[in-house]
Amino acid sequence: MKKRKTLLHLWTRNYVITLVIGLIVISIISVMWIRHTTLEHRLNMTVLLGEEIASRFVEVNGGEPEQYGDVPGYVTERNELLNLESDPTIYITAPDGTIVSVSDNQKRLFRFYIPSKLIHSENTVQQLNFDESTVGSYYMVKTPILFYEQLVGWVVLIESKEVLTKVNQEYQLLLIIVISLGLLGWAAIYFLSKKFVKPIEQVAFAAKQVEQGQYDVRLPDELGEQELYELVDSFKNMTDRLEQLESLRKELLAGVTHELKTPVTSISGLLQAVKDEVVTGEEAKEFLEISLKETNRLQHMIGDLVEFNSLHAKQFPIRNAKMEINQLINEQVKQWQITQEEPVDCVMKPLDNDLFIQIDSARLQQIIVNLLNNAKHSFDKVEARIEILLRHKGNQLEIEVKDNGAGIREDEQKNIFERFFRGEEKKYKVRGLGLGLPFSKLIAQAMDGDLILKESSEKGTSFLLTLPIYK
């Protein structure tokens, strides 16, 4: 069996991978941005340094080229003042680019003169790319030396790109920030996921308990997350419903067993009495007639079970034929009235206009008879009355069966379509398996319709059968 990993492990791992990739991308972009801004800042400072040196030469030497001198001390002083963090090579040149002076202890890229195209370029800052013998890239900053608006020379500062972009403290700070964000993100997702996963683990554990038949499960009541609350609440409602259905199943199984056992016991006792000649003559015939009635009732109950199982397994044929609905319902109601031992006041309100539909008349009669029998057994009043109302709404036919009986108890209404269910009042008054309403609902659904309890109270009960009208 494949070993599965916990949700906490998967979420934490995937988040950490995403976090690390994101931080790496951010770090690369940050390093590039730091290098770029550092380069721009230092080039600007180098430009300022060149302007300072040019002004200083004019001020000290009066613009005489032959008096140009070396300025290492001045440059160092200015570097510290401007916080340039570099020591560029400084060239003092004549107007044509001939080198007059250069700072000491620096790598000299130009020995005697600076190329004219560089000196006369309009760009103050220029990037220099030499041949393969020169390692790295360099930047050149040139500033004119003006004496009474006359060009008397140039101050040229050259520094390598590597030095200009070199930073240490910023990278260390960036590394600390990235590591801190990584640890904080991992801790946050771990503890948040742990809090989120805990109720799911509790629901999973409770599901295992339900699987083992233990319906008394405990789950947290107070959850701030809407989705988790709905999950837990739905599971608790499902568990309560399963517990009710399991209790109902045991009770109904016992009832069905009793209903099937009673006629068998009765038949066995009656036939044994006749066999042993405990009764003879007319009394023996009466015992045999009672046995036949009980046998017929037993056969009827077994037939109901077989039909119900066939319908539930979708092996129940529906044979539609074109019928006029007013005439069909009227005939079925009259047939039912004739078979009743006592007359029942049953009124039908037909459709205003004749309507022909495709319907399985035999299956529809089963539903109508079940609803009428159900209505008849609810009477506890002297003036009992049943109404059958037909309505045509859109592409549906509605058949409502109303009675003025005692009604169905509110706590029993949700279970009336459960197989083998019989209410407390009917359980002791009516013999049967409790398959009438569930069977009728399945037939209605097999015909693409439905059967619902519309309303029930002390004033009576109303069932609504809906069937499609095919054109």
Same domain, 296 and 330: no
Among 22-31, 198-207, 399-408, whose mean pLDDT is lowest? 198-207
Same domain membership, residue 140 and residue 26? yes
What is the rounded distance in angstroms from the CA atom of residue 367 to the CA atom of residue 375? 12
Query: Could you tell me if 137 and 39 are in contact, meaning their C-beta atoms sit under 8 angstroms apart?
Result: no
Min mean pLDDT across 10-19, 44-53, 177-186, 243-252 is at 243-252
Q: How far apart are CA 163 and CA 84, in angstroms?
A: 10
Give the model confidence (pLDDT) of 271-299 as tens digits: 887 787 777 788 878 878 878 877 776 77
User: What pLDDT score was predicted for residue 385?
Assistant: 82
Residues 99-108 have a mean pLDDT of 74
Same domain, 307 and 332: no
Model-level pTM? 0.45
| Same domain? 164 vs 229 | no
Residue 347 maps to a domain: yes
Domain boundary among 273, 288, 316: 316
Q: How far is CA 306 from CA 299, 310, 319, 413, in A?
A: 10, 6, 19, 26
Residue 438, in any domain of the structure: yes
Q: Are residues 32 and 88 in the same domain?
A: yes
Scanning 136-225, the segments in alpha helix (DSSP H) are: 161-164, 169-211
pLDDT digits over 365-395, tens only? Answer: 888 888 888 877 766 655 678 889 999 888 8
Q: Are residues 301 and 373 in the same domain?
A: no
CATH number at residue 385: 3.30.565.10
pLDDT at 132 over 60: no
Residue 69 pLDDT more than 60? no
pLDDT at 142: 92
The answer to the question of residue 197 being in a domain is no
Q: Residue 235 has what pLDDT? A: 78
d(CA 53, CA 133): 31
Q: What is the pLDDT of residues 402-453, one digit of tens each?
A: 888 777 877 777 777 776 666 655 554 545 566 678 878 888 888 888 998 8
CB 68 within 8 A of CB 92: yes
Same domain, yes or no, for 340 and 448? yes
Q: What is the pLDDT of residues 232-285, one digit of tens each?
A: 778 788 887 777 667 666 655 655 565 566 667 777 787 887 787 777 788 878
